[in-house]
């Protein structure tokens, strides 16, 4: 391989190689020598013309061979060697004559209705796979062409469908990886926005909500509910933020008035002091009582004027102070509303329990408190039993109702210091501060009994909701995540032991 040679040098060397190798100077041989010297793959051009000519010379003897020729023409148009090979093989097999004495049997064919449904299935699956994989599109096109024929041979459909299924699986896996990579990228962007907005605590709730929305598993129902929740939060935050900005502007205006009033008082005081000093100098020069009277009157008038202006300024400052206090109180209320609106985005929109982000914050807080006060902390992970069967039998609305029912019963039986969070799907986490492992197991067992008493109604049907739970007490040097993992393992042991049980981890 010599990348430094010019095309003219490569051409001359290719001609010499043809001569020394005693090869015929055909375009194909020359192209092969040229590509080898240039160090590029020797990919032959697709012979569409010769293949078209070949297809016209093939005479179909039966309907199966005619279908194969139609597939061959489609494969040549798509320049697909594999489809060309499959079509030629099908043409050859369709022309095989059975040995003498054996009755030719008609190959099995697909019913027209089933072929139509299969074609619609293929057409419906393709958009979900995207258009990046041309191989899938080629094979699907060939299969659709075959399925739309008046008579569809079952064997040929099986071959094409098997090849397409393999390609579809590969394409679907690639789409899953692409979606995962895009979600990861989106997650990074949202986190970066949160990091850049550290001074806007009201924005944190929206960031947390978005992070929760893009966490797997994704469902359209969950995304729609999160969108509705975030829109409501953003509207409330927008109103509070706008009034907060107005109130801050009013505060700045009142501060300017306050400073101006102080300056006016200072000027008045200086003028009064000057008049008193001048009157004192004039009094020293007075030689008679008659001359003293006008000076005293001037001093008295100046004193009265100063007293009146001081009283007026004091009243104005008092009014200004009252307005400042009122505005400051309103600002505090507005900031509280912003914090409350942000807190909504830390909750699961369906059950109103904390979401994963809210759980992370609560867990960090409880772990820190536990280690600071040297108190036990138990964590339970509970999972509704047979939830999938409930969903499949009664529908997702009934499943959502069961989740809400469990969350309501759990909240009504927890202590104020306990925390409930939805961990994902039908799983919930309960944080129980100042609780040992034995006390945590007892609390979850008591909750199971209370849940048994509170029958869940789906329409007119009474449904008994149960759960399996695992409980773990946080170890001194253990992270909260590790404790949840131990509780999760204990929960699976409870499932395998027969469900509706509580086990310690």
DSSP-derived secondary structure for 212-269: HHTSSSP-HHHHHHHHHHHHHHHHHHHHHHHHHHHHHHHHHHHHHHHHHHHHHHHHHH
pLDDT surpasses 50 at 183? yes
The pLDDT score that the predictor gives to residue 425 is 85
**Which segment, 57-61, 310-314, 344-348, is predicted with the most confidence on average?**
57-61
pLDDT band at 504 (very low <50, low <70, confident <90, very high): very high
- Residue with more model confidence, 103 or 467: 467
Average pLDDT over residues 358-384: 91
Helix axes of 81-94 and 134-147: crossing angle, nearest 10 degrees: 30
Three-state DSSP at 26 gives coil
- Look at residue 127 and tell me whether its pLDDT is greater than 70: yes
What b/e readout covers 80-112, taking b as 16+ CB neighbours within 10 angstroms?
Answer: beebbebbbebbebbeeeeeeeeeeeeeebbee
Task: Give the largest Cα separation in the chain, rounded.
Answer: 163
For 457, residues 6+ apart whose C-beta sits below 8 A from its C-beta are: 463
Neighbours of 251 (CB within 10 A): 16
Tokens of 301: 């008038």
Residues 6+ apart with CB under 8 A from 62: 94, 95
Give dist(CA 74, CA 82) in Å, integer: 12
Q: Is pLDDT larger for residue 464 or for residue 17?
A: 464
| Residue 453 backbone phi and psi in degrees, to 5 | -75, -35
Would you state the structure tokens that stand for residue 382, as one six-digit string? 């509970």
pTM of the model as a whole: 0.40
Q: Mean pLDDT over residues 210-233, rounded?
A: 58
Residue-level pLDDT at 95: 66
Q: What is the chain's percent helix, strand, coil content, to nearest 5?
A: 70, 10, 20
Specify the higher pLDDT residue, 369 or 225. Answer: 369
| pLDDT top residue among 403 and 139 | 403
pLDDT band at 2 (very low <50, low <70, confident <90, very high): very low
Q: Model confidence over 336-355: pLDDT tens digits? A: 665 555 555 677 878 889 88
- pLDDT per residue over 72-104, tens digit each? 877 787 677 777 777 787 777 776 555 554 445
Residue 290's pLDDT band, with cuts at 50, 70 and 90, is: low
* Average pLDDT score over the chain: 76
Q: Which of the four pLDDT bands, split at 50, 70 and 90, describes residue 291?
A: low
- pLDDT of 452 above 70: yes
Residue 176, token pair as written in the block: 């899953």
Predicted local confidence at residue 1, as pLDDT:
43
Predicted local distance difference test score (pLDDT) of residue 225: 56
Band the pLDDT of 198: cuts 50, 70, 90. very low
State residue 447's pLDDT score. Answer: 94
Tokens coding 29: 């041989």
- Residue with tokens 């999160």, as numbered in its chain: 226
Beta strand pairing status for 456-458 and 419-424? unpaired
Quick one: pLDDT at residue 309?
72
- pLDDT band at 133, cuts 50/70/90? low
Provide the pLDDT for residue 409.
94
User: Is it the case that residue 356 has pLDDT exceeding 60?
Assistant: yes
Share of the chain above pLDDT 90, in %: 19
- pLDDT more than 70, % of the chain: 66
């Amino acid at each position: 391989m010599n990348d430094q040679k010019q095309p003219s040098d490569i051409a001359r060397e290719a001609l010499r190689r043809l001569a020394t190798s005693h090869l015929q100077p055909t375009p194909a041989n020359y192209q092969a020598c040229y590509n080898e010297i240039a160090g590029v793959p020797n990919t032959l051009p697709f012979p569409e013309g010769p293949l078209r000519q070949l297809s016209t010379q093939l005479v179909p003897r039966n309907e199966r061979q005619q279908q194969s020729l139609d597939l061959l023409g489609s494969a040549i148009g798509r320049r697909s060697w594999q489809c060309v090979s499959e079509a030629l093989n099908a043409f050859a097999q369709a022309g095989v004559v059975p040995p003498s004495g054996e009755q030719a049997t008609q190959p099995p064919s697909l019913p027209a209705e089933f072929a139509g449904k299969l074609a619609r299935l293929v057409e419906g699956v393709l958009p979900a796979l995207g258009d990046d994989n041309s191989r899938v599109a080629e094979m699907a096109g060939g299969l659709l062409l075959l399925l739309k024929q008046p008579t569809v041979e079952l064997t040929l459909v099986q071959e094409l469908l098997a090849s397409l299924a393999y390609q579809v699986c590969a394409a679907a896996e690639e789409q899953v990886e692409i979606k995962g990579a895009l979600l990861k990228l989106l997650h990074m962007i949202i986190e970066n926005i949160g990091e850049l907005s550290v001074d806007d605590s009201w924005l944190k709730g929206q960031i947390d909500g978005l992070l929760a929305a893009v966490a797997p598993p994704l469902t359209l129902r969950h995304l729609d509910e999160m969108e509705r929740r975030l829109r409501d939060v953003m509207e409330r935050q927008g109103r509070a933020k706008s009034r907060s900005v107005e109130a801050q502007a009013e505060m700045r205006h009142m501060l300017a008035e306050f400073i101006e009033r102080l300056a006016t008082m200072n000027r008045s005081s200086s003028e009064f002091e000057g008049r008193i000093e001048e009157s004192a100098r004039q009094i020293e020069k007075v030689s008679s009582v008659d001359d003293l009277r006008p000076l005293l009157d001037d001093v008295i008038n100046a004193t009265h004027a100063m007293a009146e202006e001081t009283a007026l300024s004091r009243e104005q400052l008092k009014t200004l102070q009252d307005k400042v206090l009122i505005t400051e109180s309103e600002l505090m209320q507005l900031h509280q509303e912003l914090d409350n609106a942000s807190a909504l985005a830390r909750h699961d929109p369906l059950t109103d329990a904390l979401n994963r982000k809210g759980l992370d914050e609560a867990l960090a807080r409880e772990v820190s408190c536990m280690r600071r006060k040297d108190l036990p902390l138990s964590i339970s992970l509970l999972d509704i039993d047979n939830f999938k069967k409930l969903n499949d039998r009664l529908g997702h609305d009934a499943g959502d109702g069961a989740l809400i029912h469990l969350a309501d019963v759990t909240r009504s039986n927890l202590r104020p210091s306990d925390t409930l969070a939805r961990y994902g799907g039908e799983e919930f986490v309960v944080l129980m501060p100042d609780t040992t492992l034995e006390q945590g197991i007892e609390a979850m067992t008591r909750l199971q009994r209370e849940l048994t008493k509170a029958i869940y109604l789906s329409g007119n049907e009474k449904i008994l909701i149960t759960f399996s739970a695992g409980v773990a007490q946080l170890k001194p040097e253990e992270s909260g995540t590790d404790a949840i993992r131990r509780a999760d393992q204990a929960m699976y042991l409870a499932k395998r032991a027969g469900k509706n049980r509580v086990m310690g981890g």
